[in-house]
Amino acid sequence: MAQALRIAMAGLGTVGAGTVRLLAENADILSRRCGRALALTAVSARDRGRDRGVDISGCRWFDDPVHMAREADADVIVELIGGADGPAKATVEAAIGAKRHVVTANKALLAMHGAALARAAESAGVTLAFEASVAGGIPIVKALREGLAANRISRVYGILNGTCNYILTTMRATGRAFDDVLAEAQKLGYAEADPSFDVDGTDAAHKLAVLTALAFGCEPNFAGIHIEGIRHVTPLDIAYAAELGYRIKLLGHARMTEHGVEQRVHPCMVPLDAPIAHVEGVLNAVVATGNFVGDTVFEGRGAGAGPTASAVAADLVDIALGQSRPVFSVPARELKRVAAAPMERHRGEYYVRLTVLDRPGVIADVAATLRDEKISMAAMIQRGRSPDDIVPVVLMTHETEESSMARALARIAALDSSAEPPRMIRIETL
């Protein structure tokens, strides 16, 4: 059997400990599939004395992950620290500088610095692998870069954050409000103490930047992503969505347009006949559309020790087998810097919920505003009076431009009859 692939790991949190466990428990399977052993030789983490439930006694300990990346007896550095900058970035740069392969689960790092790191890795002749950075155990990186390599990808979209999907699923099933379900998700460990990274859309946007680069062979452009979270979604919106034949999902969506690459993360009304509408709980799903293969749907667990460790190990297997591919589907020197399509040029259908005073002329004022912006209504729902004479009115529009919709909503919000700011959710025709 060939010499073992020597691995040094930076970060021993949930994913790191899970990867150590997987390498130990599945050592026989991995060695047979690789023709060589995968040997963990060094580790680095913040707390040396912490019991992580895994055996690292045979590994050399490094207090400094950057020093480990340069000096460890290792062929591959696995970076599981997290964060776009700081020690994570320094560790990856040091590993590449020392001509060591890198495996990372760090979507923020790739979203912010992916192009520069890809060029550095290519120049050094080493692999930069990141299957674990997007959608946990779903092999979507390999699918886009290898399985769909013969296709022109026209769009890629998906449920990229399990925390948000859990919250929206539970709100629909129970009728409870966002804050209540978020508190439950925190108790169950699905959401962090500070949940903003997840519920405000940042985590999904980091992943979308990576998927966009893979799908279109362009530089990751996190700054070009339109991002909205789910805090404003209410049980009333979810109930109306069900009545109208939709479910609300937080989606990341990327497609190439005449104005550049459109990247957006926001709540969407998804038709019930779309497969992604039925992806529930903490599961993730990604859909990629190729010009020869059509739509391909990938679904599975998007986070957690086991699924993410599985993705880390998949990259290690490729390196052990000597398989190397361009980081973002094309050689780094050919990565395109594609303009970001302005969100105001987006065209689509819209759900709008108004909260207005129930008095004559209100609907006429709203209709006049939509008419002035050349927005056509597809449907309207208004039911009976309330004791305080404030009622919800739901509008569904035909396709229109985002800029027109934004102007119309601003004018409606300024009406004397408007009791609350209008709530808008984009409708996806998937």
What residues are labeled active site?
207
Cβ–Cβ under 8 Å, residues 108 and 85: no
For residue 95, which phi and psi values (nearest 5 degrees)?
A: -65, -45
| CB contact burial 249-277 (16+ within 10 A = b; e otherwise) | bbbbbbbbeeebbbbbbbbbbbbeebebb
Owner of token pair 């599985």: 310
Q: Which of 254, 282, 291, 253 is nearest to 270 (CA)?
A: 253
Pairing mode of beta strands 390-397, 347-357: antiparallel
Strand partners, 393: 354, 382
Longest CA–CA separation in the chain, Å: 84
> Could you give the CA distance from residue 312 to residue 66 in angstroms, rounded to a whole number?
20
The DSSP result for 298-343, as a single string, is: EEEE-SSHHHHHHHHHHHHHHHHTT----TBSB-GGG-B-PPBPPG
Cβ–Cβ under 8 Å, residues 163 and 169: no
> Could you give the CA distance from residue 144 to residue 337 in angstroms, rounded to a whole number?
19
Kindly compute the dihedral angle of the four CA atoms of residues 110, 112, 115, 121, in this order, to the nearest 10 degrees: -50
**What is each CA distance from 330 to 221, 244, 250, in whole angstroms?**
16, 42, 29
Q: Which of 398, 404, 343 is nearest to 373 (CA)?
A: 404
Cβ–Cβ under 8 Å, residues 302 and 160: yes
Q: How many CA atoms lie within 13 A of 252 on its CB side?
A: 31
